Amino acid sequence: MRLHTTSGARIAAAGIILAGFVLCLAVDLPGHLSYDSIVQLLEGRTAQYGNWHPAVMSWLLGLADAAVPGTSLFVVFDALLFFASLLGLLLIRPQPSRAVCAVAAVLILCPQVLIYQGIVWKDVLFADVAVAGFACLALGAERWEDAKVRFALVCGAFALFALAALVRQNGAVVPLFGAVALGWIAARRAPSRPFTRAVLIGGGALLAAGLLAASAAFALATRTVGDSGPSVQLQLLQTYDVIGAAAKQPDLDLARIAGDDSSLVKIIRTIGVRAWSPARNDTLGNTTALQEALDDADPDTMAAQWHDLIVHHPWLYLRVRAEVFGWVFFTPDLEQCLPYEVGVDGPAGVMAELGLKERNDIRDDALDKYAHLFVGTPVLSHAAYAVLALISLLILLRRGRAPDIAVAFLLLAALAFAASFFVISIACDYRYLYFLDLATMVAIFYLALDARSVWDVLRESLPFRR
């Protein structure tokens, strides 16, 4: 009787996941597009990639658009990665707990799944690709004794990890953590010299993913036009940090800038300080006088001032970075941090060239109202997901099954990715840490497959248990 019940839970969970996939496509197709999405769609259609965003996103949009004009096929591909990951994890436990059905249903109804899976953003693609890669690795750990299946799943995992590294500039943490996870899993299976086996297998897989990513990046670079996006982004970061430091410490020595352009120092201490915001850098770009002065400045001078800030005023630099990171991690005013996107909106000229029209129909309005219900709640809180991620991580490491290692390193990769924004963030857009939310959701789903063992681990961990 118990066997029948638990097998039924697996079928029911699979049905909920498939129904969720259909529901997402029904409410989201042909996709929600913002400025970035529309620009990247044009790049994909023309095969001329700008250097502001990673070119692979535009390339994938171009492939999908060539097959079915628009973004519908890309949205299907993106959502398929996520929902196939849930189905794949479901295969790990033939007789899951009934709790997994409730967990799957709740996750699907969260805005991070129901709406985000239809938003054409590289942040969503990155999260889905990374989750799919670690799901393949978890399946590979479970089927380790079957050499052919194991090889196929590990190859698939690291191909996805390579894609993740291409989609986001700081996405290199994904193949790195994936390699450590694979090495750990391989070491558990080694009768002798486990460390050597871990280094060889994990290092070999990381090298292969790195070569694949580097080759793809080189190929895409042949179609890239315009100025160096990463270079300009670094200049924006340096300027943002320097002005933020001046806002926090008005008497900060700006000798490097003063030696090159004393008038810029005056503008930074007045207009720049008033315009600077820890929430986002747009306030600086929207200030004409400041922007004109910065455009005329020597980038090397600002870079030198930034280096001086880090070397000679490290605590001031960390204070600025901590405040900025606080906005992207805690999102104290979520409305300022663009929690989601529905409809279609972007530059009129580019939309006309693509044959797109602005869209904000009844369905978009309904989705907007639905998502807004969660604003100000833990459902749309990176901090809440970070806490759940840490709890899940402790459970997974303590339980210690082979697939647990892969899911644990999914969480570690997500936490490390989020932490990288302490250094690079210049805006608090909610989507930047979407990977953290989604990875935590997937880990909770995975743990719900065997809810009894989770409870046993928690009970054994209580300091005053009987």
- Could you write out the DSSP letters of every residue in 257-286? HHHH-HHHHHHIIIIIHHH--SSBTHHHHT
Q: Chain-wide mean pLDDT for the chain?
A: 93
pLDDT in tens, 312-353: 999 999 999 999 999 999 999 999 999 999 999 999 999 999
pLDDT value, residue 225: 80
pLDDT in tens, 117-167: 999 999 999 999 999 999 999 999 999 999 999 999 999 999 999 999 999
Task: Yes or no: say if 46 and 64 are a contact pair by the CB < 8 Å rule.
Answer: no
pLDDT value, residue 231: 80
Helix axes 362-372, 2-28, angle to 10 degrees: 130
Residues 6+ positions from 111 with CB-CB distance below 8 Å? 339, 340, 370, 371, 374, 379, 380
Q: Which residue has the tokens 């023309």?
A: 46
Q: Which residue has the tokens 């709790």?
A: 99
How far apart (Å, rounded) are the C-alpha atoms in residues 205 and 176? 10
The token pair that represents 440 in the structure block: 């935590």
Q: How confident is the model at residue 114 (pLDDT cuts 50, 70, 90)?
A: very high
pLDDT in tens, 207-253: 999 999 999 999 998 888 866 567 888 999 999 999 999 999 999 99
pLDDT beyond 80 at 433: yes
The CA dihedral of 461, 463, 464, 466, to the nearest 10 degrees, is 40
Q: How confident is the model at residue 1 (pLDDT cuts 50, 70, 90)?
A: very low
Q: For 192-210, what is the mean pLDDT? A: 91
pLDDT value, residue 94: 86
Q: For 196-216, what is the mean pLDDT? A: 94
Which of 195, 192, 158 has the alpha carbon at shortest distance from 177? Answer: 158
pLDDT value, residue 127: 98
How far apart (Å, rounded) are the C-alpha atoms in residues 290 and 65? 40
Residues 6+ positions from 70 with CB-CB distance below 8 Å? 30, 31
Q: How confident is the model at residue 286 (pLDDT cuts 50, 70, 90)?
A: confident
Which of 139, 197, 208, 209 has the alpha carbon at shortest distance from 406? Answer: 139
Q: Residue 359: helix, strand or coil by DSSP? A: strand
pLDDT value, residue 52: 77
pLDDT beyond 80 at 3: no
Q: Residue 33: helix, strand or coil by DSSP? A: strand
Which of 60, 82, 81, 80 has the alpha carbon at shortest distance from 71? Answer: 60
Q: Measuring CA to CA, how many Å separate 59 from each of 52, 74, 79, 200, 357? A: 14, 11, 18, 33, 22
pLDDT value, residue 459: 84
Q: How confident is the model at residue 185 (pLDDT cuts 50, 70, 90)?
A: very high
Q: Is 362 exposed, middle or buried (CB count within 10 Å of its CB: 0-12, 13-18, 19+)?
A: exposed
Record the pTM.
0.95
The CA dihedral of 333, 335, 340, 342, to the nearest 10 degrees, is 180
Q: Which residue has the tokens 């060539």?
A: 66
How far apart (Å, rounded) are the C-alpha atoms in residues 341 and 5? 40
Helix axes 434-448, 451-461, angle to 10 degrees: 100
pLDDT value, residue 146: 94
The token pair that represents 353 in the structure block: 């060239």
pLDDT value, residue 141: 96
Find how far residue 53's CA is from the centre of its chain. Answer: 14
